[in-house]
A and B are shown apart, each in its own frame.
Chain A
Amino acid sequence: MKSLGSFRRKFAPWNDPEAKPYISFENVTKKFGDFTAVDDLSLTIYNREFFALLGASGCGKSTLLRMLAGFEEPTAGRILLDGQDLRGIPPYKRPVNMMFQSYALFPHMTVEGNIAFGLKQDGMPANEIAARVAEMLKLVKLEQFAKRKPHQLSGGQRQRVALARCVAKRPKVLLLDEPLGALDKKLREETQFELMDLQMKLGLTFVVVTHDQEEAMTMADRIAVMDKGKVKQVATPAEVYEAPNSKFVADFIGNVNMFEGTVSTVVPGKVDIDIPADKITIRTDATRECSSGQTVGFAIRPEKIRLSRKEPANTSVNAARGELYDIAYFGDMTVFHVRLESGRIIKAASLNAVRTVEDPLGYDDMVWVNFDTDAGILLTA
């Protein structure tokens, strides 16, 4: 049995019709004056899920998070958390905690003071606070920095203090606004895995806002791709990448070669698309309903395209000839830009699985590109 992506998931409550959503947005709209930040949006998030809201800046993802935290009230619609309507509940009474993009550490308090702040507001006895703070410091490996002030810490350490501070209260849901945005690349990669471990260990529901798709793909169980206040697709990283539901999502996530053409023939299980501009015909699996004469899109990821000097067996479909125009070598992989006769550039990527290659491809070589019928995605939206 074939399935999308490279691994199997044990945790998938969204496929279980019995599972009850933990957080639900029901037809939520948020307007700021004339500007609609969130537009009639519905979304469900499950308990213990690591959920990512992904989108470009201004797509409404942060507004969504702020509505969950209680800093903004929806203009219309409602938000439920564990069955409770959150309308009218001020931020300081909501069982959610947020980690801010700027970390928002209190500059006049020590690391300990910052972590203890939320616990003090709950009126927890002093000895329990001390124990919890010690536990949190250990969790984020900052024991020896307890007495420092935020400005005496490095960026990565501040990020961990911010994390410890919002985890300390054991919230039902942890909201993270661009949690790794201020860290450098190496640290970001490490921290991604730390966050995932932490989420597993604590068994919390995480909702993370990010504009970084790699971050979302790495960490999240499911991703909501957002644009202009609407959710375009909610799915696992593999589904979002391998089976995007629209041209927007296909284009937004990862690299893609996008074609537009007309359906010429529909044979059982397969669809032929004519791309007159590039004089090629694409044959692909009929993953979506479409009829002859319909204008459709076709998206194919660079790594799903094969490159060869030899002419493929069948050149009538899914094949084209062109010259190697640009080569981008990344070490782990190489991306080739092939220019077809029509002038169109096709990106094809190949993994550098071995160190040495006999007779490698070079600039200006004439090559064939071809791909299988299940390599690309038929898009009708």
Chain B
Amino acid sequence: MNTTWSRFNIVSLVIGFAFLYLPIVLLVVFSFNESRLVTVWAGFSTKWYVSLFNNKSFIDAAWVTIRVGLISATCATILGTLGALALTRYTRFRGRMLFSAMIYAPLVMPEVITGLSLLLLFVAIGFDRGIWTVTLAHITFTMCFVAVVVQSRLVTFDRSLEEAAMDLGATPVTTFFKVTLPVILPAVVSGWMLAFTLSLDDLVISSFTSGPGATTLPMRIYSQVRLGVTPEINAACTILIAIVAVGVVIASIANKRREVQKARDEQAAARH
């Protein structure tokens, strides 16, 4: 392997990462700006964070977002896992291709269309818009992501594990909870995390389906920005970035550790 760094490679790397991260770095830096003007640096300060935590409408929106995220991610994970199970297990039923395609379709469906159709549905059945309609809408569009993640794990799942469990006297339900679920749990957890993140930063579908008293954080930020960008928003975004970044780093470290440990165990076992 070539380990020397050519100048060309270094330049490519810098340009690439600058393209990706410069906007975010700017946002983070200016969240600590003393000045009210977003583009003029006037010294370090954390006052926008303080004022953010005193801004009731932001805090309320954050709570709504978290509640919607937790409930919708959990429901979407259950539904998506069940869907993935059905699609991988019953490979021979009529119209399986159609069902498969139908679970993938919402992934590429424009959000405006999903949002609009859900809005029409809620209006048609007379469902008052509020936190529950947002939650339902989020379940709808995140469950297919969960299904895709779980399905990719189930494809490599050794069916004989389930057969062994049943052979040893476990009913199908016990088999699912004692054997299948624990084995596919990492995929289910990453499906949940994906659903939660998607729900957390969704703006379009939330805007269509929310009602009074159910403003999510992205909606609050967006409406605030229309009145002008304040450093308060920079602070809110910085906190969001920090939460997501910490989550991703912890997940990948845990994953790496587990893999290293497993490889070491297997080597040790092979030496016997």
Contact flags B176-205 to A (C-beta < 8 A → 1, else 0): 001100110000000000000000000000
Contact A106 B179 (CB under 8 A): yes
Q: Which residues of A contact B71 (CB under 8 A)?
A: none
Q: Which of B158, B174, B182, B265 makes the CB contact (< 8 A) with A149?
A: B265
Which residues of A (87-125) have their CB < 8 Å from a CB of B?
Answer: 90-94, 96-98, 100-102, 104-108, 117-118, 121-122
User: How distant is A111 from chain B, measured CB to nearest CB, in Å?
Assistant: 12
Q: Any chain A CB within 8 A of the CB of B171? A: yes
Stretch in A150-158, A278-286, A311-319, A354-362 with 4+ CB within 8 Å of B: A150-158
Q: Any chain A CB within 8 A of the CB of B128? A: no
Which residues of A (62-79) have their CB < 8 Å from a CB of B?
Answer: 69-71
Contact A166 B268 (CB under 8 A): no
Which residues of A (296-324) have their CB < 8 Å from a CB of B?
Answer: none
Contact A104 B182 (CB under 8 A): no
Considering the chains assembled together, what is the distance between the CA atoms of A152 and B164 in angstroms? 20
- Count of chain A residues near B, Cβ 8 A: 32
Q: Quick one: which of A71, A94, A105 has the most chain B CB within 10 A?
A: A71
Contacts known (A104-B163, A121-B174); A97 close to B168, Cβ less than 8 A: yes
Contacts known (A151-B265, A154-B272); A166 close to B168, Cβ less than 8 A: yes
Contact B158 A102 (CB under 8 A): yes
User: How distant is A128 from chain B, measured CB to nearest CB, in Å?
Assistant: 15
Contact B160 A102 (CB under 8 A): yes
Q: Any chain A CB within 8 A of the CB of B66? A: no
Contacts known (A151-B265, A152-B265, A152-B269); A118 close to B160, Cβ less than 8 A: no
Contact A169 B169 (CB under 8 A): yes
Interface size bracket, B side: 20 to 34
Q: Quick one: which of B167, B174, B262, B272 has the most chain A CB within 10 A?
A: B167
Q: Which of A90, A101, A121 makes the CB contact (< 8 A) with B168?
A: A121
User: How distant is B194 from chain A, measured CB to nearest CB, in Å?
Assistant: 22
Which residues of A (141-167) have their CB < 8 Å from a CB of B?
Answer: 149, 151-154, 157, 165-166
Considering the chains assembled together, what is the distance between the CA atoms of A122 and B168 in angstroms? 9
Q: Which of A154, A165, A169 makes the CB contact (< 8 A) with B270?
A: A154
Q: Which of B171, B183, B262, B270 makes the CB contact (< 8 A) with A92?
A: B171
Q: Which residue of A lies closest to B160 (CB)?
A: A104
Q: Which residues of A contact B170 (CB under 8 A)?
A: 92, 117, 121
Q: Which residues of A contact B179 (CB under 8 A)?
A: 106
Q: Which residue of B lies closest to A98 (CB)?
A: B167
Q: Which residues of A contact B183 (CB under 8 A)?
A: 106-108
Known: A100-B160, A106-B161, A117-B168. 11 other contacts (CB 8 A): A94-B167, A100-B163, A104-B164, A106-B164, A106-B179, A121-B168, A151-B262, A152-B269, A154-B270, A154-B272, A166-B167
Q: List 9 A-B contacts (CB under 8 A).
A: A91-B167, A92-B166, A92-B171, A96-B167, A102-B158, A105-B164, A121-B168, A154-B269, A169-B169
Closest 4 pairs (CB-CB, A-B): A118-B168, A121-B169, A104-B164, A104-B160
**Interface set of B (CB-CB < 8 Å, partner A):** 158, 160-161, 163-171, 174, 178-179, 182-183, 262, 265-266, 268-270, 272
